[in-house]
């Protein structure tokens, strides 16, 4: 029988005052609020690391790393950070770029001639390294068989040999962004070929250890198991065994909340850690900016850059990445205006819980921060009218999604009262012009949608998805 748990002890580090003396806006109070949310949603444990110019590094948590033993969560408990691993992949690529061993614009076939890839548009639109990092390669995500595979392979080449027929490019590379874990696997191959080292070794020796992340690892060994929090399913109670991801670059890193502070520092300090520089500021800025999609080529700065996904919270732009692993959910993000960032992790597969906690953290870190006011646009109704028509979805993420279903996903772009709107089954939403091809939604400080042409076709791309105009 599973023993009953006592109320969780809050574990705080680098916090000046105890909870009883804290103001409502203190880090200690934030930890207390997060612990209440943890209990409300039935999550075993959580940990938070925050970094700001005002308060420095703060680490806290609550609950338990393991329900059976009652082992508490501490800042040094290992968690699986899932797809945040992709951020480290991008950092590794930028290191190789700075060393002159890699070019973001290099075609994949030049670096990995044996890459399992079928690209019908290869002559005009080859898959490039930047396409893999920005998920604009045209590849669908992994198959069900690949997701369900739970046996470690001896190499990335062997992993890709498992389902090579799945690597078919679905649209011209550099056109649409669609998230695909297969891209991360190919990035791992690029890192190996450019560096001459195995993927895990390069990540550890060139990134994790120089960043002071000495507990972090990509392996399932006895030391990892002793310090790893137990991951729980959607009920928050059923343990999930350690899952061996078919491609380690898609999400295999295990790390502690305390050491994840180094990742926050690296981005907020523009490539510096303490007095040392790991990357040039230009490399960090490139990671924050999508450049390969149709929208990006027409000025859309919002989207998925190399290893970083943008989001808006309270009208403020955040850079970061989420991490889903069986039994674990994590998110790291930073806001440049507030000079603050955080890493949040829970050991339960409960997205609603992480979302609620994440929102509270972001509100705390940006309280009092002014929201940028978008510039006014003078685009005429006649210009906007050229964009109206019926748009149909043109991309899917998984091979098991029926392509015929895309035909049912439509937007009507209409001009009403001199203003542009997107109408769908979910309602009518204004498209507020930033310029003739870029649009924002109400309450947003920047453009999140682009409408632009390529090869004689007009596409709507961005926050709503990827659509092509059928008719006016």
Between the CA of residue 58 and those of 12, 18, 50, 260, 332, what are the distances in Å?
8, 13, 5, 11, 14
pLDDT for the residue numbered 219? 87
What pTM does this model have? 0.93
The answer as to whether 88 is a domain residue is yes
Mean pLDDT of the chain: 92
Instruction: Kindly list the distances between the CA atom of residue 80 and the CA atoms of 11, 121, 207, 219, 225, in Å, as whole numbers in the listed order.
Output: 20, 37, 17, 11, 11
Residue 453 neighbours by CB under 8 Å, 6+ apart: 459
Q: Does residue 264 share a domain with residue 364? A: yes
Q: What is the mean pLDDT of residues 297-303?
A: 97
Give the separation between CA 213 and CA 211, rounded to whole angstroms: 5
CATH number at residue 141: 3.40.710.10
139 pLDDT above the threshold of 60? yes
pLDDT band (50, 70, 90) for residue 404: confident
Q: Which CATH number belongs to the domain containing residue 411 in this structure?
A: 2.40.128
What's the pLDDT band for 407 if we cut at 50, 70, 90? confident
Same domain flag for 351 and 399: no
Count of structural domains, the chain: 2
Percent of the chain with pLDDT over 90: 88
Give the Cα separation of 297 and 305 in Å (integer). Answer: 13
- Clarify whether residues 113 and 184 are in a common domain: yes
In the structure, what pLDDT confidence band is assigned to residue 25 with cuts at 50, 70 and 90? low
Per residue in 178-203, pLDDT (tens digit) is 999 999 999 999 999 999 999 999 99
Within a domain: 119 = yes
pLDDT per residue as tens digits for the range 301-318: 999 999 999 999 999 999
Q: What is the pLDDT of residues 76-90, one digit of tens each?
A: 999 999 999 999 999
Per-residue pLDDT at 392 exceeds 60: yes
Confidence of residue 21 (pLDDT cuts 50, 70, 90): very low
Inform me whether the pLDDT recorded for 1 exceeds 50: no
344 and 459 housed in the same domain: no
Specify the pLDDT at position 20.
30
Judgement on whether residues 279 and 385 belong to the same structural domain of the protein: no
**228 and 175 within one domain:** yes
- CB 383, CB 366: distance < 8 Å: no
Percent of the chain with pLDDT over 70: 95
Residues 398 and 357 in one domain: no
Residue pLDDT, tens place only, 228-286: 999 999 999 999 999 999 999 999 999 999 999 999 999 999 999 999 999 999 999 99
Which of 2-11, 23-32, 210-219, 363-372 has the weakest average pLDDT?
2-11
The domain containing residue 458 runs over which residues? 381-471
Is 337 within 8 Å of 367 (Cβ atoms)? Answer: no
Q: How much is the CA Rg of the chain, to the nearest whole Å?
A: 23
Residue 7 scores a pLDDT above 50: no
Residue 292 lies in a domain: yes
pLDDT of res. 410: 95
Window from 19-23, 289-293, 460-464 with minimum mean pLDDT: 19-23
54 and 151 in one domain? yes
Query: Is the confidence at residue 11, as pLDDT, over 60?
Result: no
pLDDT in tens, 97-108: 999 999 999 999
Please give the sequence-ordered ranges of beta strands (E in DSSP) within 23-181, or none if there are none: 45-52, 56-63, 79-80
Residue 8 confidence (pLDDT) above 60: no
Residues 362, 390, single domain; the answer is no
**Whether residue 254 is found in the same domain as residue 285:** yes
Q: Are residues 207 and 254 in the same domain?
A: yes
In the predicted structure, residue 19 carries a pLDDT above the cut 60: no
Whether residue 376 lies inside any domain: the answer is: no
Average pLDDT of the segment spanning 58-63: 97
The domain boundary, picked from 321, 337, 371, lies at 371
| Residues β-bridged to residue 433 | 439
> Final residue of a domain: which of 319, 336, 371?
371
Give the separation between CA 16 and CA 14, rounded to whole angstroms.
Answer: 6
Domain final residue pick, 329, 352, 371: 371
What is the model's pLDDT at position 220? 87
Average pLDDT over residues 146-167: 93
pLDDT at 153: 93
């Amino acid at each position: 029988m599973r023993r009953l748990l006592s109320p969780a002890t809050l574990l705080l580090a680098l916090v000046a005052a105890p909870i009883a003396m804290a103001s409502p806006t203190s880090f200690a109070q934030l930890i207390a609020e997060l612990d209440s949310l943890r209990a409300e949603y039935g999550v075993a444990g959580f940990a938070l690391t925050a970094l700001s110019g005002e308060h420095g590094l703060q680490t806290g948590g609550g609950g338990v790393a393991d329900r059976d033993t009652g082992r508490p969560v501490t800042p040094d408990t290992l968690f699986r950070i899932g797809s945040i691993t992709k951020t480290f992949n991008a950092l590794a690529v930028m290191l190789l770029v700075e060393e002159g061993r890699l070019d973001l614009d290099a075609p994949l076939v030049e670096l990995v001639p044996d890459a399992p890839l079928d690209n019908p548009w290869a002559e005009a639109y080859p898959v490039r390294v930047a396409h893999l990092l920005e998920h604009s390669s045209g590849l669908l995500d992994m198959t069900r068989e690949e997701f369900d595979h739970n046996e470690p392979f001896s190499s990335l080449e062997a992993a890709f040999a498992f389902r090579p027929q799945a690597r078919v490019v679905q649209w011209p590379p550099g056109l649409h962004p669609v998230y695909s874990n297969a891209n991360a696997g190919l990035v791992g191959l690029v890192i190996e070929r450019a560096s001459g080292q195995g993927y895990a070794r390069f990540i550890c020796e060139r990134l994790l250890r120089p960043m002071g992340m000495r507990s972090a690892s990509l392996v399932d060994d006895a030391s990892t198991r002793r310090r790893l929090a137990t991951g729980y399913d959607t009920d928050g109670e059923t343990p999930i065994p350690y899952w061996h991801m078919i491609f380690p670059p898609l999400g295999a890193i295990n790390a502690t909340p305390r050491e994840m502070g180094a990742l926050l520092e690296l981005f907020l300090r523009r490539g510096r850690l303490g007095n040392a520089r790991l990357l040039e500021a230009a490399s960090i800025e490139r990671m924050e900016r999508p450049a390969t999609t149709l929208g990006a080529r027409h000025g859309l700065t919002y989207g998925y850059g190399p290893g970083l996904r943008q989001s808006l919270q309270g009208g403020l732009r955040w850079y970061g990445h989420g991490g889903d692993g069986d039994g674990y959910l994590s998110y790291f993000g930073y806001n440049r205006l507030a000079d603050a960032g955080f890493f949040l992790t829970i050991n339960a597969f409960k997205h609603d819980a992480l979302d609620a906690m994440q929102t509270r953290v972001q509100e705390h870190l940006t309280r009092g921060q002014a929201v940028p006011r978008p510039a006014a646009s003078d685009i005429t109704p006649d210009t906007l009218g050229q964009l109206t028509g019926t748009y149909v979805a043109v991309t899917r993420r998984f091979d098991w999604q029926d392509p015929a279903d895309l035909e049912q996903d439509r937007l009507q772009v209409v001009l009403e009262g001199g203003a542009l709107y997107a109408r769908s089954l979910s309602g009518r939403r204004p498209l507020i012009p930033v310029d003739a091809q870029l649009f924002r939604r109400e309450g947003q400080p920047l453009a999140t949608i682009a409408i632009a042409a390529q090869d004689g076709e007009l596409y709507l791309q961005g926050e709503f998805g990827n659509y092509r105009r059928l008719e006016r």
